[in-house]
Amino acid sequence: MEAPDPFRPADPLGEALHFLRMNGAYYCRSELTAPWGLTLPPMPGYLWFHAVTSGRFWLETEGGGQGWIQLGDLALVPHGEGHVLRSEPGAPAPGILDLEREAVSARYEILRHGGGGASAGLICGAVRFGHPAAGNLVEVLPGMIHVEASRSHRLEWMQSTLRMMASEAGELRPGGEAVITRLGDILVIQAIRAWLESDPGARTGWLGALRDPQIGRAISLVHRDPARPWTVASLARELAMSRSAFAARFTELVGEPVMSYVARWRMHVAVAELKEGATVGQLADRLGYRSEAAFGRAFKRVVGVSPGSVRKSAADEESALIDVGR
Q: What is the pLDDT of residues 90-116, one digit of tens each?
A: 999 999 989 999 987 777 889 999 999
pLDDT at 253: 92
- Residue 66: count of CB within 10 angstroms of its CB: 14
Q: How far apart are CA 321 and CA 316, in angstroms?
A: 9
Q: Which CATH number fits domain 212-316: 1.10.10.60, 3.90.1150.10, 3.90.226.10, 3.40.50.360?
A: 1.10.10.60
Q: Is pLDDT larger for residue 217 or for residue 165?
A: 217
pLDDT at 37: 97
Torsion angle (degrees, nearest 10) of CA 314, 317, 318, 319 = 130
Q: Is the pLDDT of residue 10 over 60?
A: no
- Alpha-carbon Rg for the chain, nearest whole angstrom, is 22
Confidence bin at 186 (pLDDT 50/70/90): confident
Quick one: fold of 12-200? Jelly Rolls (2.60.120)
Confidence bin at 6 (pLDDT 50/70/90): very low
Q: Which of 24-38, 166-180, 196-210, 267-281 has the lowest mean pLDDT?
A: 166-180
Confidence bin at 294 (pLDDT 50/70/90): very high
Torsion angle (degrees, nearest 10) of CA 217, 218, 221, 223 = -100
Q: Where are the domains of the chain?
A: 12-200, 212-316
pLDDT at 83: 96
Helix, strand, coil shares of the chain, percent, nearest 5, are: 50, 20, 30
Q: Is the pLDDT of residue 249 over 70?
A: yes
Calculate mean pLDDT across residues 126-131: 78
pLDDT at 257: 96
Say what the pTM is.
0.73
Contact 42, 81 (CB under 8 A): yes
- Return the ∠ at Cα 127 (arms to 314 and 277), rounded to 5°: 30
pLDDT at 168: 74
